[in-house]
Amino acid sequence: MMLHVFGAIVTAHGTAANNRGETEGNVTTLQKIVWDGRVHSTVSAEAIRFALRRRLAETEECNRQFDEGERTNTWKDPSFTGWSGKGKGPRYIDDDLLGFMAAEAAKEEGGKGATKVRRAVLEITRAISLTPWPGDVTFNAASPGATPSAQKKGSNPVPYGTEMHATRYQYGFALTPDTLDKRERAAVAIRGLCGLGEVAGNHGRFLFDFSPESVVFRLAQEAAPRILYSFVPDAAEKPTMPDLLRKVRAGDVKPAELVLGGAVVGLLSDADREALKGAALELGVKAACETACKRL
């Protein structure tokens, strides 16, 4: 049986205006989802993947790179030749971890197109706010001439509104190292997620730290994650893990499979620590990350 690595991550508390929804008038909206019967803000998995790809590029050359000047993606090998049967080209780290798809139309009418696909080995969930969105909106005004389009003689300040959410976000990931072209890239991915900075954004007006404040890793032979979206807020809006602890006590998750790190460890009661006996408990996220990577 193969080893599977799963992670549940919750960020620090911050003021977020990440991942815009459709603009309503001059109000920039948040993406939202109904979660447990209430409206929560959300950040897409693709936004997290985009931010991770930049971290991966610090370690190895990536196939897809974002050109800040042109505001578009460029490709080293848009044909993914390294993954063809002949395998003549390089197999980049982002293609290995995050997968790819290239669809080509038929060259002539009635013919068949071609598709090159690699399923992502590193799968990432959508991030959900830990607390419901209360409806916060700020109204602001850009100074006259703040943008080229507003540089008109006698122009007035440009009003705009922004939906935002003071919250934490939680998301999860799954990874099977043995299905990678280079197995050691699993540790690169885990370290990248544990050191993630900004994700998504809103015209660069808001910085939200997407690095983990608390993290749970599960390294197991079982293919079912069982730890995704483990965090719920307590009365003080601090992250707790009652459902994960229930699964541990019920025997669905073995303590020896778990590595916990960050603020959530400091919130464990004596009874919780007894239930987690055999798990690795680290006060720091970085220490938990390195413990998980060593287990690989």
Amino acid at site 238: K
Interior CA angle at 139 toward 136 and 142, to 5°?
145
Tens of pLDDT, residues 68-97: 888 889 999 998 999 987 768 899 999 999
pLDDT averaged over every residue in the chain: 90
pLDDT at 149: 65
Q: What is the pLDDT of residue 203?
A: 58
Per-residue model confidence (pLDDT) at position 202: 61
Stated pTM of the model: 0.91
What was the pLDDT predicted at 9?
98
Task: Tell me the backbone φ, ψ of residue 93, rounded to 5 degrees.
Answer: -65, -35
Q: Residue 61 above 80 pLDDT?
A: yes
pLDDT of 289 higher than 80: yes
Q: Residue 105, Cα to own-chain centre: how many angstroms?
A: 32
User: How does residue 44 score in pLDDT terms, banded at 50, 70 and 90?
Assistant: very high
| Phi/psi-derived region of residue 71, left when phi > 0, alpha when psi is between -120 and 50, beta in every other case | left
**129: β partners:** 169
Q: Which of 8-22, 24-38, 106-120, 269-283 has the lowest mean pLDDT?
A: 106-120
For 208, the token pair is: 């939200």
Q: Are strands 280-282 and 258-262 parallel, antiparallel or unpaired?
A: parallel
Determine the length of the chain: 296
SS3 state at 101 = strand
Residues 250 and 247: their CA atoms lie apart, in Å, by 5
| Cα–Cα distance measured from residue 193 to residue 211, given in angstroms and rounded to the nearest whole number | 7
Find out whether 34 and 243 touch, Cβ atoms under 8 Å.
Answer: no
Report the distance separating Cα 278 and Cα 275, nearest Å.
Answer: 9
pLDDT tens, position by position, 148-177: 766 665 567 778 888 999 999 999 999 999
